[in-house]
Amino acid sequence: MATTDITKNDRRVCLTGTRFWFSAICFTALLGIVPYISGCAKMYGIAGLVFLLAKAHTLSDFISRRGSLGLKSNTLWFIAWPGLDADAFFKKTASPLITTNAEWRAAVLRTVGGSVLIFSAVFWTSADLIVRGWVAMVGMILVLHFGLLHLIALAWKNSGRPVVPVMNAPVQSTSLAEFWGRRWNLAFRDYSHRFVFRPAARRWNGSVATWCVFLFSGLIHELAISVPAGGGFGLPLGYFLLQGLGVSIERQLVRRGIITRGSIAGWCFTATFTIPAAYWLFHPPFVLNVIVPMLQS
C-alpha cells in the first residue's frame, strides 16, 4: 500500500511539474523570438518565470502533503523568501534561531565587495569586454547570492524559521557531490532533489537520478542563459553534463581510495571541474549580449 501511495504521489507531482515547465518552455520560446526586447529583459523575464513556477510547484506539493497555512504565509513564501525548501520555511519555531555577528558582517562585506566589483566593471571602459563582463558577474553573484540572500536567510532565522542560506559556503566543498548537493544554490538543489532526483531514483537508481538532475539543470540554464543571449546553445548543458561525469568519476576514485572526501585532493578535484568550465556556462554570447549591455546602460 505504501509503495502504491508513493508511486501515485510521484506521478501527481511529476504531472504538475510537467504542466509548469511546459508553460515555461512556451513562454521562453515566445520571448526568445520577440524583437526589440533586450537580452537583459529576456533574461530577467525567463529567470523570473522559472523561479515563480518552481515556487508554485513547491507550494502546491507542500499543500497537498501538509495543508495550506493561509494567505499570509503563502504570500511570504512567494515574495519574501528566495529558497525552495517549503518544509523548513513553514516550520516556524516559537523562539529565534541563533545567528552570529560574524555571519551578519560577512554577508554585509560580500554585498559591499560585490558592489565595488560591479561599479569597477561599469567604469573600467578600457578593459576587454569579456573581462568587464566577468568582473560584473562575479560582483552580481556576491551581492545577490552571497550577500542579500544570505541576509534574508539570517533575518528569517531570527524570526524562528530554520532556513538555510541559498549559498552555504561552497568554497569549503571538498567533493563535487558536496558542492552540488549541500553548498551551491540550495534553492535549485532542493527543488531538483525533490521533483527530479527522488522520482528518478525510485524508478531507476541513484546514479541515473543524478544524471537526470544535471540534465535538468543544463536545460534550465539553457533557457535562462542561452535563449536571452541568442547564442551559445549547448554550452550550459555541456557544463552540467560535465559535472555529472565528474561526480561519476569522483565516486570511482573515492571507492578505490585514490582520493578521500574531506581532503585537499578532493577540494582540488572539485575546483578543477567547477571553475575552468564555467566559461561554458557563462559563455561569451551571454557576456557580450546580456551582461555588457547592462553595464553600458
Distance CA 90, CA 84 (A): 11
Name the grid cell of 156. 528569517
Answer for the pair 228, 286: CB distance below 8 angstroms, yes or no: yes
Query: Nearest-5° angle of CA 83, CA 85, CA 91?
Result: 115
Q: Which amino acid would we find at residue 72?
A: K
Spans in the chain with pLDDT lower than 50 = 1-6
Distance CA 261, CA 243 (A): 16
Whole-number Cα distances in Å, 36 to 31, 41, 75, 226, 292: 11, 10, 33, 17, 17
The alpha carbon of 2 is separated from its chain's Cα centroid by a whole number of angstroms, namely 32
Residues in the chain: 297
DSSP assigned state of 170: G
Answer for the pair 294, 144: CB distance below 8 angstroms, yes or no: no
For residue 119, the model assigns a pLDDT of 94
Burial of 164 (0-12, 13-18, 19+ CB in 10 A): middle
Q: Which residue has the cell 511546459?
A: 22
Give the up-direction half-sphere exposure of residue 249: CA atoms within 13 A in the CB hemisphere.
12
End-to-end alpha carbon distance in the chain:
60
For residue 4, the model assigns a pLDDT of 42
Q: What is the largest CA-CA distance in the chain?
A: 67
Q: Which residue has the cell 553534463?
A: 241
CB atoms within 10 A of CB 112: 12
- 3-state DSSP assignment of residue 185: coil
For residue 27, the model assigns a pLDDT of 67
Distance CA 176, CA 267 (A): 8
Distance CA 14, CA 250 (A): 30
